Chain A
């Protein structure tokens, strides 16, 4: 399969609001599926229970909101309304359970709405620790995971042994390694590994088995090198703020078309949340917990105590030789927008150019974004700063 064909297939998955691939997986394996919202859940536990973790990232640009708006005021972001719309249209029926990880008050309250709207489904709010001491936050998180594991055992009818969980951990370690390789490849050759390709590949991982996804990524990387893609005089940028509600694909393409090579981003961040391999030990829950506490990414839904705010972003800029940062956050997104002034301050201390805009997952107009990022790119090219 050519790289182009692989991406076309991924785009079909991206556009498929009926989650056909999930249904196919269920038919094939007889297993159950668990949906989860952004940003991070320990998918290894779901996998070890013989279930398919399914990343739900709203309805995207193609879903018309008919019922969802009745549930949310105009000043609340878009992802909960499209998620409710999908639920009410029975498009999420193929999932037996739903996880709502702690990220913000809107997703938190959505978990309660889900409990009321879909009483027949397993619904769990996954409270993630903001205390990163092993003995305190780790202990609490361990309880959360034990409860989850127990619930999923019941729901699936499968016992999760440490061996099974370790096997799943191994598969997700491998998957993250391959994703890291893909990101490294884009850093080296951003004209070759287009961000829209990379994005669609990551999105595909939301709705397929982890081993299949790993193979898909490997297949793409083997194929894409055969492509002859033109190199443009683009600037290298980092995109930040899009970790929950996703920008429309057209917007991502528009960023590239406006003269930017994106060398780092935070969309589909859950797939890259843990930055190191989770070790295979006799106590896999402890290993997962340690990984979360010690080796997870910096992002605004996590409390940062000791670390210097925004340092990770500055480091990324330097390490990846980026020319600037584009803050691209959903309208009304509390975590991203409250974080933004702290991140821009950190960038300004280092004289790193940045620009910001807001979108909604179903934004229908792109010319103004293109114009803004195009100007940003030009000014960096011309004067080395925005």
Chain B
């Protein structure tokens, strides 16, 4: 019962987040200078569809298509737009360009102060459920308490690409390499090698028994092999990026793709398709090619040691992890490979651990449970 309730609250919380962003997207799209009568009509229909779809998308035990609003929204938008503008490529192109412009603004908007709104929405949605309606008041009360609890930050650490723009002193900035190392160590203490494939870059990191980075390599200037590569492929195929993995996993006879060059990816894909190769086989080849790039970074950083932890958005892609497992075993023998559902938070977790560690002067064995107790003590 308790578990069920939490699961429902969680999905409804996600629904709330999704709706707020969808609302922002809708508003933005209508304000776009390229909007005409025809696109307006199409946009109305598309967003009606997207809102409807959202209601059914967030269910307990249903695996989310992606953690990123962009992915979910873009594939839904694309599908609807394609249907509506079946014989009207001008309309289709216009809709897509409106979407592309707007999504950037929606993504960069901050939703940091929305916790209460989201929680309240999640609560109201959840208590509508027959299983919980009898406990409505108790649930509301508990949630109101949770919302009222004030966080008391003990330290702040900035990381990530935008860290240079943070108003923090230098000693409160950590590179995302260090954060990924420490985060991976916390999630899987036996970790010695970390691979992170994110949207913008790929990192191969070696850490010691304390989560301290001993070596790292990042992809070279060429973006081939980053998550963005899959993005290009998805765009080329008119799909959401999260749809690629499942299709690729259907492949029985993978095609060898030699170039992971993002510039040529589209051309290569089209040529393969025109040669009659199957979509899933080509996609399987593309995933392998991408993982091969990661393998060479791993080799540059010093190879793969047990245990090996794979993080970042691409770690959720089954075709990518499948290719990785195969290649790791072929080249380094059997290794423990850790992949967590929360792997996209590894860097953030590492940053938080640095915040805590450096505050308390601890260097090893950071334990979040202790942190909770300390917080309680401070509150008391």
Contacts and interface: CB of A to CB of B under 8 A. Distances in A.
Are A and B in contact, CB atoms below 8 Å, in the complex? yes
Interface of A: 61, 64-70, 73-74, 360, 362-368
Given A61-B258, A368-B267, A70 B299 contact: yes
A69 B292 contact: yes
Contact of B271 (A64, A65, A68, A367): A367
A73 B296 CA distance: 10
Contact of B293 (A64, A69, A362): A69
B11 to A, nearest CB: 41
B256 interface: yes
27 contacts: A65-B258, A66-B292, A66-B295, A66-B330, A66-B331, A68-B296, A69-B292, A69-B293, A69-B296, A70-B296, A70-B300, A74-B220, A74-B221, A360-B258, A362-B258, A363-B258, A363-B259, A364-B256, A364-B258, A364-B259, A364-B268, A364-B271, A364-B272, A365-B259, A365-B268, A366-B271, A368-B267
Contacts of B212: none
Contacts of B293: 69
B184 to A, nearest CB: 22
Q: Which of A64, A68, A360 has the most CB of B within 10 A?
A: A64
A66 B298 CA distance: 11
A69 B259 CA distance: 12
Interface residues of B, number: 24
Given A364-B268, A367-B271, A368-B267, A64 B220 contact: no
Contact of A365 (B256, B264, B295, B330): B264
Contact of B220 (A67, A73, A360, A366): A73
B244 to A, nearest CB: 19
Q: Which of B224, B272, B292 has the most CB of A within 10 A?
A: B292
Contacts of B264: 365
A66 B222 contact: no
B141 to A, nearest CB: 59
A362 B221 CA distance: 21
Contacts, number: 53
B327 interface: yes
B276 to A, nearest CB: 14
- Interface class of chain A by DSSP: loop
Contacts of B187: none
Contacts of B292: 64-66, 69
A372 to B, nearest CB: 13
A74 B267 contact: no
Given A69-B293, A70-B299, A365-B268, A64 B256 contact: yes
Contacts of B297: 70
A74 B222 contact: yes
B8 to A, nearest CB: 46
Nearest to A73: B220
A66 B224 CA distance: 15
Contacts of A364: 256-259, 268, 271-272
Nearest to A78: B258
Nearest to B293: A69
A362 B299 CA distance: 22
A152 to B, nearest CB: 34
Nearest to B224: A74
Nearest to A65: B292
A66 B259 contact: no
Give 9 closest A-B pairs by Cβ, nearest first.
A70-B299, A69-B296, A70-B296, A362-B258, A74-B222, A365-B271, A364-B258, A365-B268, A74-B220
Contact of B267 (A61, A66, A362, A365): A365
A74 B300 CA distance: 13
Q: Which of A66, A68, A365 has the most CB of B within 10 A?
A: A365
A64 B222 CA distance: 19
A68 B299 CA distance: 10
Nearest to A64: B256
Given A364-B256, A365-B267, A367-B267, 4 more contacts: A66-B331, A67-B331, A70-B299, A364-B259
Contacts of B221: 74
Interface string B266-303: 01100110100000000000000000110111011000
A148 B168 CA distance: 64
Nearest to A74: B222
Contacts of A366: 271
Contacts of B220: 73-74
B117 to A, nearest CB: 46
B4 to A, nearest CB: 47
Q: Which of A61, A66, A363 has the most CB of B within 10 A?
A: A66
